[in-house]
Amino acid sequence: MTHHVAVGVDGSPEGFAAAEWAATEALLRDVPLRLVHVADKPLTLVVAALAIAASDDSAAGDALLQEAAANLRARHPALEVTTRKRSGRTPAALASEGDEAGLLVLGSRGLGSVSGFLVGSVGTATVGATTRPVVLVRSADGGTADAVNGGTPAPGEAVEGHTGTAADSGQPLGEVVVAVDVHDPVDAPLAFAFEEAARRGCKLRAVHGWRPPFVHGLAFDAATRLEVEREFTRTLRDLLLPWRQRYPSVKVVEEAHAGSAARAVLGATGDAALVVVGRRARRSPLGGHIGPVAHAVMHHATAPVAIIAHG
């Protein structure tokens, strides 16, 4: 792959955390990193004060990009880092960057003390506007953000070269979790998830959620539930056999759980370094479509979430 990794930076802790995650991901992929700052332009500039503010924002954006790039280069000497400043509506500009990249990374703000993402209108609109993979990253107590934003890395933190594993590159240790619908399997999220697991040298956990049938007056007992779960797990294992053969180095664990797909995926993310979900790349008059599973995982998973568009 020759595509670069692009990441949006806006001066927030979440933006800096996303930049650090994107830097180590670029090292894993052995591709350049592009830092992107968007000076959001109002729909109309009707007063001179707004034009002056836009000029101030432009200078601040230049300084932000230069500082973030300098600190990432110091932390990751082997990484090629470039910058780009854009103006316009933020979701459209970021989506355009995503269309040029192999991967677009965005920061996502945590909802106070509540575990999970608060994905705002910009993030949601950007995900819906591009067909390229997008990863949402939240800040972990500001630690990563502080390091990118001028902090000094601890001894041994700087990455001297591409080593091909998550542990050596600085990516969080853990599994890759992917949502799979055995009734409507899709290649794009599976291809992304297997490639990431192989790249990181970690386990892949494939999760399917199924809803017990509702039959009035008939109890769905525990034994029947267990047998159905086993049958879905066998189906999932058969479905993934070609992917196992394509990626023999990846250890795969299949799980089928009663309940909604979103609940099943979220329940499997305790040890996840990355969660992968798909979304159908179709447009509506209200914008890009983000399905219920992707929407729920985007908002409630604590690990980085990759949203993979497919036809």
**Does residue 76 sit in the same domain as residue 27?**
yes
**Does residue 206 sit in the same domain as residue 281?**
yes
Pairing of strands 103-111, 114-118: antiparallel
pLDDT value at residue 219: 58
**Does residue 128 sit in the same domain as residue 196?**
no
pLDDT in tens, 107-140: 986 443 333 444 566 778 888 888 899 999 987 6
Which residue, of 167, 202, 236, is where some domain finishes?
A: 167
User: Residue 10: which of 35, 42, 44 has the closest Cα?
Assistant: 35
The encoded tokens of residue 249 equal: 């180095």
Which residue, of 109, 143, 167, is where some domain finishes?
A: 167
**Does residue 283 sit in the same domain as residue 150?**
no
**Does residue 113 sit in the same domain as residue 214?**
no
Give dist(CA 134, CA 269) in Å, integer.
18
Which residue, of 135, 167, 199, is where some domain finishes?
A: 167
pTM (predicted TM-score): 0.82
Please report, in tens digits, the pLDDT of each residue of the chain (311 residues total): 458 999 999 888 888 899 999 999 999 999 999 999 998 765 444 444 444 444 556 678 889 999 999 999 999 999 999 999 998 888 899 999 999 999 999 998 644 333 344 456 677 888 888 889 999 998 765 434 444 444 433 333 443 444 445 555 555 568 999 999 999 889 999 999 999 999 999 999 999 998 776 554 455 677 877 888 889 999 999 999 999 999 999 999 999 988 889 999 999 998 899 999 999 876 555 455 688 899 889 888 889 999 999 87
User: Residue 235: which of 263, 206, 277 has the closest Cα?
Assistant: 206
**Which residues are within 8 A (CB) of 268 and not within 5 positions of it... i.e. 6 or more apart?**
177, 205, 207, 255, 257
Pairing of strands 81-88, 5-8: unpaired
Domain that holds residue 262: 172-311
pLDDT value at residue 253: 96
Give dist(CA 221, CA 270) in Å, integer.
28
pLDDT in tens, 280-294: 876 555 455 688 899
DSSP string, 126-166: HHHH-SS-EEEEE-STTHHHHHHTTPPPPTT-S--S--SSH
**Does residue 153 sit in the same domain as residue 185?**
no
Give how many domains the chain has, as a whole number.
Answer: 2
- Give the position of tokens 């990484």: 79
**Does residue 49 sit in the same domain as residue 142?**
yes
**Does residue 246 sit in the same domain as residue 293?**
yes
pLDDT value at residue 25: 97
pLDDT value at residue 160: 41
